[in-house]
């Protein structure tokens, strides 16, 4: 299991979700209850400091725009958002009806805050946003908060869906989310998380539930190199039932995320061949068919159960060797 930078696909799905084109010129306005977790779009629900949110409303920018670099800017296409009048929100993306921003870390400990939008010298009426320490949300591939999660295989880096199901008891997965609360090594508001150890890990351990089975988090923290995007790594438990839409949730600090899905298949059989070098494979699961001295077809091969022909190599592999032998009466091979 490795902690790594998310794939460009995941980053794009998480950070540029939603939004339409430019609006006609006018005074900006924020929709009541219009600051929502970008992963869930849950209207009226509290959002967490440090998390990524969508601000819904009317924003008459001349053109849509995305942040060109990090740290994130406090203004895009002339549009900015202020909490409490003087705390600016870093911007990922703006359009005529939606802006994606990071909730400033500095709002930690507050239960509410006023937010306004400013464009071209005109400022909107304030709207009150509800705040909570934890407001987990798991991103999805279609950006609506339900269905296939933005969850990838930690080894193949592919989406864990019906075409690439996780194997229960074997596959390690990376869950991309936001709103998991305080972290160690907290970056500045608008700045990316550390890309190398020590990482920015959550100060409270989340619980991941796959199907009805709890999966302990092996890593939980900000995704390396990203702003406000969290990553939780777990192994899919062996007892998870298989299916093409197995539910996944994250709970932390008493708050529970939206439910998303992954595909899971059952592991039928495995052998890691982790015995000592030169040893035979486990006789409880492996047997030898020696063919009764040649299978009755005149072939010269002789089949054996000798470790000279089949043995574990001490490095997790089973080595099967064909040995040619010559004597005064026969020329052939042992298999």
Q: What pLDDT shows up at residue 9?
A: 45
Which one, of 181, 227, 177, 175, lies nearest residue 204 by Cα? 181
Give the pLDDT confidence score for residue 295 in this predicted structure. Answer: 57
**Given phi > 0 = left and psi -120 to 50 = alpha, else beta, which region is 34?**
alpha
Q: Is the pLDDT of residue 298 over 80?
A: no
User: Which of 287, 209, 207, 221 is CA-nearest to residue 247?
Assistant: 209
**Residue 53 pLDDT:** 97
Q: Mean pLDDT across the stretch 170-191?
A: 97
> 3-state SS of the chain: helix, strand, coil percent to 5?
5, 35, 60
* pLDDT score of 15 more than 60: no
pLDDT at 22: 46
Superfamily for 8-130? Answer: Immunoglobulins (2.60.40.10)
Among candidates 25, 5, 2, 13, which has minimal Cα distance to 260? Answer: 13
* pLDDT (0 to 100) of residue 20: 45
Convert the pLDDT of each residue in 38-85 to its tens digit. 999 988 899 999 999 999 999 999 899 999 999 999 999 999 999 987
Q: Higher model confidence: residue 238 or residue 272?
A: 238
Please say whether the beta carbons of 106 and 16 come within 8 A. Answer: no
User: CA 59, CA 22: separation in Å to the nearest integer?
Assistant: 8
- Dist CA 280 CA 103 (whole Å): 59
CA angle 4, 11, 167 (to 5 degrees): 60
pLDDT in tens, 240-295: 999 999 999 999 999 999 999 999 997 666 777 888 988 888 888 788 777 655 55
Q: What is the mean pLDDT of residues 79-94?
A: 94
Contacting residues for 47 by C-beta, under 8 A, at least 6 apart: 35, 36, 37, 53, 103, 129, 130, 131, 132, 135, 179
What residues contact residue 33 under an 8 Å CB cut-off, 6+ apart?
43, 44, 127
Round to whole Å and give the CA distance between 184 and 295. Answer: 66
Predicted confidence at residue 8, as pLDDT, reads 43
The string of DSSP letters for 75-133 reads -BTTEEEEETTTEEPPEEEE-SSEEEEEPPGGGTT-SEEEEEEEETTEEPPPEEEEB-S
Torsion angles phi and psi, residue 283, rounded to 5: -70, -15
Q: Look at residue 289 in the predicted model and tell me its pLDDT.
A: 75
- Would the CATH topology of 8-130 be identical to that of 137-265? yes
pLDDT at residue number 231: 97
> Could you tell me whether strands 79-83 and 243-252 are parallel, antiparallel, or unpaired per DSSP bridges?
unpaired
Domain boundaries, the chain: 8-130, 137-265, 271-335
CATH, domain 137-265, list 2.60.40, 3.40.50, 2.30.30, 3.30.70: 2.60.40
Residue 34 clears pLDDT 80, i.e. is over it: yes
What integer pLDDT is reported at residue 331 of this predicted model? 54
């Amino acid at each position: 299991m490795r902690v790594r930078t998310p794939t460009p696909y995941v980053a794009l799905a998480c950070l540029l979700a939603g939004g339409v084109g430019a609006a006609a010129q006018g005074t900006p306005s924020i929709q009541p209850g219009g600051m929502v977790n970008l992963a869930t779009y849950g209207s009226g629900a509290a959002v967490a400091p440090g998390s990524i949110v969508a601000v819904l409303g009317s924003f008459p920018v001349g053109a849509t725009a995305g942040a060109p670099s990090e740290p994130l800017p406090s203004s895009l296409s002339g549009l900015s958002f202020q909490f409490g009048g003087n705390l600016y929100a870093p911007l990922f993306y703006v359009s005529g009806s939606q802006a994606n921003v990071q909730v400033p870390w500095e709002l930690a400990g507050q239960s509410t805050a006023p937010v306004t939008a400013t464009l071209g010298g005109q400022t909107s009426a304030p709207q009150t946003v509800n705040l909570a320490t934890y407001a987990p949300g798991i991103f999805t591939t279609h950006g609506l908060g339900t269905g296939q999660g933005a969850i990838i295989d930690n080894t193949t880096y592919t989406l864990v869906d019906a075409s690439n199901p996780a194997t229960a008891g074997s596959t390690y997965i990376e869950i991309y989310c936001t709103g998991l609360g305080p972290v160690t090594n907290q970056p500045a508001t608008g700045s990316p998380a550390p890309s190398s150890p020590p990482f920015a890990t959550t100060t409270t351990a989340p619980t991941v539930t796959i199907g009805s089975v709890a999966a302990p988090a092996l890593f939980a923290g900000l995704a390396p190199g990203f702003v406000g995007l969290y990553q939780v790594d777990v192994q899919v438990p062996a007892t998870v039932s298989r299916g093409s839409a197995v539910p996944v949730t994250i709970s932390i600090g008493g708050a529970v995320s939206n439910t998303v899905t992954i595909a899971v298949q059952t592991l039928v059989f495995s052998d890691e061949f982790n015995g000592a070098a030169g040893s035979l494979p486990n006789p409880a699961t492996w047997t030898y068919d020696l063919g009764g001295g040649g299978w009755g077809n005149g072939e010269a091969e002789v089949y054996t159960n000798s470790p000279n022909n089949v043995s574990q190599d001490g490095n997790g592999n089973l080595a099967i060797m064909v040995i040619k032998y010559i004597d005064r009466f026969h020329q052939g091979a042992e298999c």
